Chains A and B, each alone.
Chain A
Amino acid sequence: MIYKQYRKNVNSKLEYKVEDFLRDDKFVSYALNISSEARTDRESLPEEYDKPTGNAALAMAILNGEDTTYCLTSRESEDLKQRILNTISKL
C-alpha cells in the first residue's frame, strides 16, 4: 500500500500535515481508488493492513466528501456554475 510509506516515518521529527497528503498525487489516487473497492474487499485485507489514522484519515475524508468543513453557499455555487456555463457558451 502506498499509504504505508507514510506510516514508516512515524519516527521522523517531521509529521505529515493534512495538506501534505492532499498535495501528493499518489495519495490522492490511492485514497480515491481504495474507496471504490467494495467493503467486503477491504475487510478481507490482511490484519496488518494499516488503516489510515490522524491526518491521513482526515485527508481521505476530505477527498471522499465525508468531511464538509468548507462549503460554497447555495448562491455561491449557483453563481460559479453560471460563470462556468457562460464561459463554455463562448467557446
Chain B
Amino acid sequence: MVTKGSTLSNTTGDNNNLTAQLLTAYQAGDTQAFSRLYDLYANVLFNYGHRLTADKELLKDCIHDVFVKVYTRKNELSSIENFKSYIFISLKNKIYDEMRKQVYMSGQSIEDVDPAGSDDVEKHYLRAEQEYVESRTVQTMMGQLSPRQREALTLYYIEEKKYEDICEIMSMNYQSVRNLMHRGLTKLRSIAR
C-alpha cells in the first residue's frame, strides 16, 4: 500500500508490481491511480534530480512537467518498456533543457550590456562575467555528453594527451577513440546550435 510521502524501498519486486498495477488502473481511467503514482515516485525523483541541479524550484517545475507528460501520454504508456527508466530519463532531459535555456538567457543579457566606458575595473568585471558564463556554458554542454565522450575530449583538448596515450588510458584502439571523439564533437555542435 502506498502512503503519502512514501518512497521506493528496497523491495523492488513489490514496487515494480505496484507500478504495473497503477499504470494499468490509470490507463483504464482510474485517476486515483495517477495520484498514487505521484506518491510513489515524487521523492525518489526529487532525490535524483537534486544530484543534477541544486535549484529546488527548477527541479519541482521539472517534476511537475514530467507528471503532466505522463498524464497526457496515458495511451502511450503501455508501449514504454520500462516506466521507471522513462520517468527518470524524462526528468533528466527536462532539467538539462531548462538549464540550457537559463545559460543562453544569461549569455544574451551579458552581450546586451553596454560597456560603460574605459573604466578598467568595470571592463575587468564584465570580462570575468563573460568568462564565467562561457565556462558554465561549456560545462553544461560537456555534461550532455556520455562519460566516455567527455573523457576522450578532455584528455585530448584539455590535458593535451596524444592519441596513443588516450588509447592506453581508455583501453580502446585508435579508430574507436577517433569515432568516440567525432561523436562527442558532433553532439557538442548540435547542442551549441
Binding site for B on A (CB under 8 A): 5-6, 8-9, 11-14, 16, 18-25, 28-29, 32-33, 35-36, 38, 62-72, 74, 76-78, 80-81, 83-85, 87-88, 91
Contact = CB atoms under 8 A, between A and B. Distances in A.
Contact of A32 (B43, B64, B84): B84
Given A8-B171, A70-B46, A24 B147 contact: yes
B139 to A, nearest CB: 12
Contacts, number: 127
A80 B64 contact: yes
Interface stretch (B9-17, B114-122, B123-131, B183-191): B9-17
A33 B89 CA distance: 14
Contact of B88 (A8, A16, A28): A28
B8 interface: yes
Which of B48, B146, B147 has the most CB atoms of chain A within a 10 A radius of its CB? Answer: B147
Nearest to B6: A65
Interface of B: 4-5, 7-10, 12-13, 15-16, 35, 38-39, 42-44, 46-48, 50-52, 60, 63-64, 67-68, 71-72, 82, 84-85, 88-89, 92, 143, 146-148, 150-151, 154-155, 159, 169-171
Contacts of A14: 151, 154-155
Q: Identify whether the interface residues of A are mostly helix, strand, loop, or mixed.
A: helix
A65 B72 contact: no
Given A64-B10, A69-B50, 13 more contacts: A5-B148, A13-B169, A28-B88, A32-B82, A36-B12, A66-B8, A71-B7, A77-B43, A78-B4, A80-B63, A84-B64, A84-B68, A87-B68
A1 to B, nearest CB: 16
B67 to A, nearest CB: 5
A22 B51 contact: yes
B40 to A, nearest CB: 9
Question: 6 smallest A-B Cβ distances: which pairs?
Answer: A65-B8, A70-B50, A35-B12, A65-B44, A29-B85, A20-B147
A72 B85 contact: no
Nearest to A36: B16
